[in-house]
Amino acid sequence: MSDTAKFALSGSADYFAIYWSLSNGEPIFKLDHSTIVRACAIDPGANPEWIYTGTKNGTVCRISTANPSQVTSYDAHTDLVRAIAPIPDTTLFLTSGDDRVTRLWDTRAPPTAPVNSLTTPSKVTSLELAREGSSVMTLCFGESVLLAHNTSFDPLYEFDLPFVVESASLHQSGRFLAAGGNQLDIGVYDISDPANPIQTSLLKGHHGPVHSLRYSPDGRLLASGSEDGTVRLWPTRPYEPYGLWDGPDPSTFSA
C-alpha cells in the first residue's frame, strides 16, 4: 500500500501483479510475469512514480506508474525474492532473497551492479525500513533479528530469540521491537539496552505461525498476519481510546 493509502500493489501465484486504486477498488493496470510474483513494493510519497515486483526466479522489476511498459529488470537474486524496500528520498532500494543475500541497488546505476551486499547465515524472512527518516533496517533470519544501517549494512544490534523468526517490526520510538514466527505468540521487547533486551509482553491469539508484523506510522497499533488466516490489530496503549477502539471501561479498574 502507498503511504497515503490511495494505491495498492498485489502479486500472486497466477503470475500477475496488479496496481490498484483504493478510491474505487479498481485495477489501474495489470502486469504479466513469467513466474510467481512473491514480493511487491511501492515508492514512498503521495504520488508514487515507481513500483517494484520480485519473482520466484530472483528477478526484480522496476515499473513506471505513468507508463507501465517502461520496465527495468534486475537479476537481483539466484532464488526467490523475499522482500523489496525502496529507501525514501533517495534513488536506492533494497532486496532480499532466499539465496541469503540482501542487496542495495541504485536506480541510476546499471541493473547488473548492486551498490552493496550482505550475506546472512540463513535466508531473510523479513525486511523492514524504520520510519521517520531513520536509516535503520530490520532483518530477520533463522532465530535472529538484525538491526543495521540501511545502506552501509553496518550492524547496530543483533538479537537471538528462542524461536524461528518470520517477521519483526521496530517501533517508531526505536525502543520496542515486536517479533513473531513459529511460536505463534508475538513477543514485544524493550531494547533500550540492546545488550539486555527485556520482553515486556507476549501477545496471544494466533493459532498459526506469524508471518507478518508492522507497527502503524503513529506507533499506536501493531498489525499481525498469521498462517491461521487472520490479521489482528493490537493497541500498544490498550487503556487509551484509538479509532473504533474505545478502550476498557475505567470503572472496571481496580487499585
Residue identified by cell 523479513 is: 126
**What's the pLDDT tens digit per position in 22-31?**
999 999 999 9
Name the nearest CA neighbour of 169 among 236, 120, 118, 123.
236
Instruction: For residues 34-63, give the mean pLDDT.
Output: 95
d(C-alpha 59, C-alpha 55), whole Å:
5
The predicted pLDDT at position 45 comes to 85
pLDDT at 217: 86
Which whole-number Å values give the CA distances from 183 to 30, 122, 163, 164, 187, in the listed order?
A: 37, 18, 6, 8, 10
Q: How many CA atoms lie within 13 A of 238 on its CB side?
A: 6
Q: What is the pLDDT of residue 255?
A: 40
Kindly report the length of the chain.
255
Residue 58: pLDDT band (50, 70, 90) is very high
Could you tell me the domains of the chain?
Answer: 1-118 (2.130.10.10), 120-243 (2.130.10.10)
